[in-house]
Homo-oligomer: A and B are copies of this chain.
Amino acid sequence: MNKYWSELANRLDPYVPGEQPKDRKYIKLNTNENPYGPSPRVLEAIRNCTDESLKLYPDPTCDTLLTAAAEYYGVRKDQVFAGNGSDEILAFSYMAFFDPGKAILFPDITYTFYPVYAQLFNIEYKLINVAEDFEIPEKELYQSPGGVIIANPNAPTGKYMPLASVKRILDNNAASVVIIDEAYIDFGGESAVKLIEEYPNLLVIHTFSKSRSLAGMRLGFALGDSNLIKAINSVKNSFNSYTIDRLAIAAGIEAFRDVEYFEAARKKVMGTRERVSAEMAAMGFNVIDSKANFIFTSHPFVKAAAIFALLREKGILVRYFNKPRIDNYLRITMGSNTEMDVFLATVKDIVQAY
């Protein structure tokens, strides 16, 4: 026990993000960022707001940003919440919807921040084991005592759960909130946003860090029944009145409006994924079918940890999780086509050397 720390601080085991190394220039395929920069219109919008007005607080209600979001999604403004990245929204959501003593359910292999929030807010959780092929056993998420969280597509597997399954999970959890974390949904999945009118217990969370190429600006959104959005706002306004700065608000508005750029960028990433998946399979890799901007893959005889280390030496960063069940897999973010050519050639060398 550390004398000045709270009991909470003494028992925390924080989340560890993918490394952002400063020692040399890497091909970064380790944190699921977008290889293509933000829309030029977004950069222009930021520049136009970089003036004396930064002395003023941002709008705490993010009104114009919510309007842009509501227009894009075809929902009402009171069905949207804007936050400092989807991680902040997840944190607020634990406080808004989950209670100590009522266990929530999520898969054993998923975003590793979920159990960290549970620890931070003293929420019990029960892990649902995914199948050998990483499919989430839908029925085991029915009738949760305290709520459900599903990343869809799942991370770090990229595995996608069809909307029909999501609906059945919602139907079978009428008494508690089901969070669908759709950080990667723009890369080929069907969003559950269309279900929010139908399900008062559904909260869908999106991020601008992946498909919108704005990881550096910290923007995320929650969509759901206005009653759920109201609870998140209550928590947020008890925590920090202004979590999104003026330039991030400006960036977000323009990113929603520049649909053309967004469509082109996400399609390029999906094309790269299909090509890289095929080439990896041709090299003998087992590639999990992905609807995300990354692939999850293992090789029948070259260990993932070894490939990870050798790639790092060659200046290529991928993500390796030294955790039960996935410690022979690599998660590889889709870079630009040029970056992926270097990656594929390097992996080929590594595998052939064995």
DSSP majority for the A interface?
loop
A63 to B59, CA, bound (A): 29
Q: Determine if A33 and B57 form an interchain contact, defined as CB atoms under 8 angstroms apart.
A: yes
Q: Determine if B84 and A238 form an interchain contact, defined as CB atoms under 8 angstroms apart.
A: no
* A215 cross-chain contacts in B, Cβ below 8 A: 54-58, 242
**Minimum C-beta distance from A37 to chain B (A):** 3
> What copy number does this chain have within its complex?
2
**Minimum C-beta distance from A302 to chain B (A):** 29
A245 to B245, CA, bound (A): 9
| Given known A-B contacts A4-B176, A47-B50, A57-B209, A15 and B241 have beta carbons under 8 A apart | yes
Against B, the Cβ 8 Å flags (1 = close, 0 = not) of A197-208 are 000110000000
Q: Which of A8, A17, A36, A58 has the most CB of B within 10 A?
A: A8
Q: Which of A91, A200, A236, A238 has the most CB of B within 10 A?
A: A238
Q: Determine if A54 and B217 form an interchain contact, defined as CB atoms under 8 angstroms apart.
A: yes
Find the B residue at minimum CB distance from A251: B54
Against B, the Cβ 8 Å flags (1 = close, 0 = not) of A116-153 are 11011000000000000000000000000000000000
A200 to B99, CA, bound (A): 35
Which of B84, B213, B244 has a CB less than 8 Å from the CB of A240?
Answer: B84
Count of chain A residues near B, Cβ 8 A: 86
Against B, the Cβ 8 Å flags (1 = close, 0 = not) of A23-42 are 00000100101111110001
- A-B contacts besides A3-B175, A50-B50, A215-B242, 16 pairs, CB < 8 Å: A4-B227, A8-B95, A9-B234, A15-B241, A17-B242, A37-B51, A38-B54, A47-B47, A54-B251, A55-B214, A85-B240, A217-B245, A217-B246, A218-B242, A245-B247, A245-B248
